Structure 1
């Protein structure tokens, strides 16, 4: 994407028009001939490449045979564009954790009119604080607790 393009237009308007075009293109095609597009938006080319190559978009397409588009946003793009500038439907984004080669990070996923809750696997979701101490959240999922007198 050229640096002169406003990110909000790409992440919101362009993606919606692209989905409309893909839907129209795929309407009369048999399932095995339909185009399914993985699109990632970030500020680092290597990071975008890892998002495109990750398993999460493939799982979305396997689970939603009629999906035409999967949009993946880096945390920075989501924070700067979706959260800060507004988006037509920010509640439709799902936050997942992706590990792909040397990339490990939180990514925001959007697929028009599809439920993405199944995409979040326990090993990819953000750690949920189970205990808190004076210094902040503690992830105690791997803790071994023993009974007995304290």
Structure 2
């Protein structure tokens, strides 16, 4: 059984930024820059300014979020404590382990959120009801 996660288990990872005035590239390699093997990649875009996304947790899936364009905040919640983390650089992302409720909020217009995930999509891995999440997180304590 997995242990209870804390909002302190969510942390920023600064990625390599290679380049010069002609442009930059930021590489991401399985289990090197992020602490898991990447099985799925997707991105959120065309989100109206000020809107929110996410608002769920995962039983098993790890995620890494990057604001590749624009800015947004990520509200992470472990059932007891909450933290709000600003993402606004394409060379810095937020690691979110399973068992953490996460909501992406306050998108600036034109933002793009890149998500790297440790698992392929599986609806059964999602906890979409906050009360169900609280029950789950209490069982792990």
Q: TM-score, normalised by structure 2?
A: 0.29
**Structure 1 or 2: more strand by fraction:** 2
**Structure 1 or 2: more helix by fraction:** 1
Q: TM-score, normalised by structure 1?
A: 0.28
